Amino acid sequence: MEGESNLGNSLQSQLSDLNREVLRMGQLVTEMIEKAVLSLARQDVALARQVIAADDEIDQLLIAIEMRSLQLMALQQPMARDLRAVGTGMKLVTDLERIADHATDIAEVTIRLEGQPLAKPLVDIPRMAGLAQEMVREALDAYVKQDEAAARSMIAKDHEIDRLYRAIFDELVELMQKNPSIVMQATYLLHVALWLERIGDHATNLGEWTIYQRTGQLEDLNN
């Protein structure tokens, strides 16, 4: 019995360590979103390069967490809810890595537009980024607290991100029609808005995986 108790304690300790690594990755990712959009708004190439460099750390964390999860499953053979916890962690870091990729894409736009005055001040794009950051933070908080209701509540922010994306799309298309000289820049900004919209989708996925861990049922929160 004592051996079984020690095994259980070891499993729970390793799950806690795994959660901390997932949260560390999430914190880095939210910082990348903020810095990427800030670099674009300020046309700060040095800040953009910080974001691109951080993506390497995210990739390394993804590999480390996946390897740790696989070792935990092989050696500890978790069952039922503990197994779902390990699987959820692996899914979360996959979405976080993709969010980091999109933040890197945005930072690369900053570099491509270096020296070009922005055709208009960025307003809705930073709003989208702020909402996306809030969604990632709230999703991770729901994951830590295993708060199913909080995981579901994020969908309202995702709908607002979608609304802002449509507004940005319409505005930039109109600007391109009026001033063909800004077509390239406007196209890049359209991509930025699209990547932020996708970040919102990935953040929604984080909430869906938390619900799965709690209930064993995978739901589509956008339906």
Please report, for the domain that includes residue 137, its CATH number: 1.20.58.220
pLDDT digits (tens, 9 = 90+) for 22-37: 999 999 999 999 999 9
In percent, the amount of the chain with pLDDT more than 70 equals 96
Q: What's the DSSP call for residue 181?
A: G
For residues 82 and 122, what is the distance between their CA atoms, to the nearest angstrom? 45
Does this model's pTM top 0.85?
yes
Residue 159 lies in a domain: yes
For residues 45 and 38, what is the distance between their CA atoms, to the nearest angstrom? 10
Residue 132 lies in a domain: yes
Q: Which domain holds residue 120?
A: 2-215
Q: Which of 114, 102, 125 is nearest to 44 (CA)?
A: 114
Is the pLDDT at 6 greater than 60? The verdict is no
For residues 16 and 32, what is the distance between their CA atoms, to the nearest angstrom? 25
60-76: string of b/e by CB count within 10 Å (b at 16+)?
ebbeebeebbeebeeeb
